């Protein structure tokens, strides 16, 4: 016996009138969106007269550092020697305060707007409109934190029509059923996200590339990071306190210690394992301790590399000498390869001529290019395994310090022969080398996980970084 109403399913099919209304609303919404797109395109401001500029910051915001043509060229062009190009673009141009740049050695004043070559990039590069006036070639760029983009307007009637159509569609969807509302809303969100994903990926890639150029020209943060290690080196009064990572910025330094270690004033504890010291605090040599041979040897054994930048855009260093063997970088293959490639570039800048050998994994991953500053060896004779030395281990990072004598890079997850060679060179009782694996590696003490958005998670430090590209 049949029934005209299905009480068991709780769902009634839409009537022909409702389906017709929905089709009409869909057509009207599509027409409004097309009209809106045409109006936006018609009213879009031309960007042919947009140029790239750099606004000289106030030294109070940069820790007292005065901007120079060389520092601007290094930050925006990746090459400090291109400062002459910036000078040529701005020679004699009157600024708002009445001054002008007449010599490469002239002091730059806060608020000056300097033209940049068109290939300039980075977080300090802004867009400004070329006014074409003789006294000032550029109009003021947008305020900090705003995006420079072409502006457009659209008719009020089109906006009202779109809003009315969306509201009517939502009311109709509510009449049809709540489940359909949720399904339609989720579908719209997925569609909008898919449409915007290519632009977001390009923006993230541009930011990561700018970070790589910044690392290549930044030597000051490296010097400050190594100087900070001296405060935790062994002295006559206390043993060494292992520093597994550092964050260096304009206002101070943050270090990651083991959970059992502490730091004296002016260091303050943030969350048990992270300690912070302001930039105004005095350095370690002013505390009455001599930098003896033991301290210097401990600092020299460290191998600090910038793994990436945190949420505030500041570099975070990790000490590869704390790996005790192998670092496994898994997740997104392309980003994992970028992580290893960046670590090699960091070592090439701070420890040139370090020996490197590259092994191929079993999954056909692309090979990793060895920077010119490192000494690539086609093959290394693996020693006979010896009994691992007794050690106390560490509370954090799972290993004791091992100086970086050589690097074994594995492109992809190591197969049987590559895994055996990796263990012979980097494992306990091996040759004492350090392994960097783009993939899963058994026995790795440190494991980093990457994603397609260009991030790397370091669980042992409880931190997420953006990887240079």
Whether the CB-CB separation of 409 and 357 falls below 8 Å is answered with yes
Give mean pLDDT, residues 132-153: 48
Contacts with 381 (C-beta within 8 Å, 6 or more apart), sequence order = none
Residue-wise pLDDT tens digits, 245-301: 999 988 899 999 988 888 888 999 998 889 999 987 654 433 334 444 445 555 668
Residue 365 predicted with pLDDT over 60: yes
- Residue predicted with more confidence, 243 or 143: 243
What's the start-to-end Cα distance of the chain, in Å? 68
Q: What is the pLDDT of residue 322?
A: 84
Q: What is the pLDDT of residue 309?
A: 93
- Residue predicted with more confidence, 157 or 256: 256
Whether the CB-CB separation of 276 and 254 falls below 8 Å is answered with yes
Give mean pLDDT, residues 216-245: 86
pLDDT category at 417 given cuts 50, 70, 90 is: confident
Q: What is the pLDDT of residue 391?
A: 43
Give mean pLDDT, residues 307-319: 93
User: What's the whole-model pTM score?
Assistant: 0.56
Residue 244 predicted with pLDDT over 80: yes
Where are the chain's structural domains?
16-44+154-203, 50-129, 220-285+293-302, 322-385+395-466
């Amino acid at each position: 016996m049949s029934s005209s109403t299905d009480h068991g399913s709780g769902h009634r099919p839409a009537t022909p009138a409702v389906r017709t209304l929905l089709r009409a609303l869909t057509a009207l919404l599509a027409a409004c969106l097309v009209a809106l797109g045409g109006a936006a395109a018609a009213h879009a401001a031309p960007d042919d007269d947009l140029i790239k500029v750099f606004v000289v910051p106030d030294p109070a915001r940069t820790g007292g550092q005065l901007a120079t043509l060389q520092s601007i060229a290094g930050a925006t062009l990746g090459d400090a020697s291109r400062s002459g190009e910036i000078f040529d673009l701005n020679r004699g141009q009157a600024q708002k305060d009445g001054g002008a740049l007449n010599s490469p050695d002239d002091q730059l004043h806060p608020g000056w707007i300097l033209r940049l070559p068109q290939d300039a990039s980075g977080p300090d590069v802004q867009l400004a409109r070329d006014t074409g006036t003789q006294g000032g070639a550029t109009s003021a760029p947008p305020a900090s934190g705003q995006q420079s983009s072409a502006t457009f307007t659209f008719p009020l009637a089109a906006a009202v029509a779109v809003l009315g159509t969306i509201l009517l569609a939502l009311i109709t969807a509510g009449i049809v059923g709540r489940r359909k509302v949720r399904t339609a809303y989720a579908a719209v969100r997925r569609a909008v996200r898919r449409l915007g994903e290519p632009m977001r990926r390009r923006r993230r890639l541009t930011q990561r590339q700018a970070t790589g150029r910044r690392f290549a020209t930044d030597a000051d943060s490296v010097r400050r990071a190594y100087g900070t290690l001296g405060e935790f080196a062994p002295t006559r009064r206390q043993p060494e306190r292992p520093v597994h990572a550092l964050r260096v910025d304009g206002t101070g330094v943050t270090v990651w210690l083991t959970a059992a270690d502490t730091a004296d004033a002016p260091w303050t504890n943030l969350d048990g394992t992270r300690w912070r010291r302001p930039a105004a605090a005095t350095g370690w040599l002013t505390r009455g301790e001599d930098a003896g041979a033991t301290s210097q040897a401990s600092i020299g054994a460290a191998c600090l590399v910038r793994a990436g930048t945190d949420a505030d855009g500041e570099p975070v260093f990790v000490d590869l000498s704390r790996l005790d063997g192998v670092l496994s970088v898994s997740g997104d293959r392309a980003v994992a390869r970028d992580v290893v490639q960046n670590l090699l570039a960091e070592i090439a800048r701070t420890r040139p001529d370090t020996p490197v050998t590259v092994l191929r994994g079993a999954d056909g991953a692309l090979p990793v290019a060895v920077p010119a500053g490192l000494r690539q060896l086609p093959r290394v004779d693996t020693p006979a395994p010896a009994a691992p030395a007794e050690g106390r281990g560490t509370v954090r990072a799972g290993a004791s310090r091992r100086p970086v004598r050589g690097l074994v890079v594995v492109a992809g997850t190591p197969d049987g022969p590559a895994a055996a060679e990796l263990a012979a060179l980097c494992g306990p009782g091996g040759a004492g080398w350090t392994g960097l694996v783009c993939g899963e590696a058994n026995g790795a003490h440190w494991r980093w996980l990457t994603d397609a958005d260009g991030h790397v998670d370091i669980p042992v430090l409880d931190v997420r970084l953006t990887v240079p590209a």
